[in-house]
Structure 1
Amino acid sequence: MATNYPDVIPMIAYEDGPKAMDWLSSAFGFKERARMVGKDGRLSHGEMQAGDGVIMLATPTPDYQAPRRHRAQCAPAQKWSTVPYIVDGVLVYVDDVNEHYQRAKQRGAAILSEVEADEYG
């Protein structure tokens, strides 16, 4: 088992990895653990930490189709995107969801729905 890492680490692709790292830090207080950027400015590997959790992120090569790019060229993917709940994602627990929401909104997050309470939490 790796030292200084949790047992499960989400790995996330961002179209602009360096910008995503800066945003995660300013919007949510993630701490940068590693940043490896190639000569072309592409993030080949990044690590961010929040509490005991760690995410790894990168900017894929131009050959990779991230969900937004794939959706623009694929009718079935456009239809999948209308599902009103999250199938793939990263769950993050926070102490104050309203404060977290406001901070994300102030920093330019794309808000998909307002904060709400239901039978699931």
Structure 2
Amino acid sequence: MGLTHEFYLVRSENENEPLETVVLSDNLVLYIWDSLRWVPSFNSSTQENQTGLNYHGITIIRHEGANLLKDICLNWSRLFSLAPSTFRLTGDFVIDENGNGAYEKWNCTRDDLTNV
């Protein structure tokens, strides 16, 4: 398995025990990244409010941001539910050692992206 991102649902910032853990592939996070940048959040490293997620490290998402993040994720899931049972998503543009470039392709299954 490639790079993944872990998200923890907790009742408050003071609790250490997650109610639930969600693990998403890096490919999926990067694919929906622009819409994740709309979420109000708090950067625990800089102690500043921001929008979006920290790609590396911890991001705290409070109530206002959590509701928006939930809506964004539900709508991406609805969109992916319209896809064929297997499909491809386009990833980053990469250049090989010979200077040739192409977009990465990511093979997906609808059920993997829409089942919780």
**Per the shorter chain, which TM-score range?**
under 0.3
Structure with a larger share of its residues in strand:
2
For normalisation by structure 1, the TM-score amounts to: 0.25
**Higher relative CO (CA 8 A, sep ≥ 6), structure 1 or 2?**
1
TM-score when normalising by structure 2: 0.25
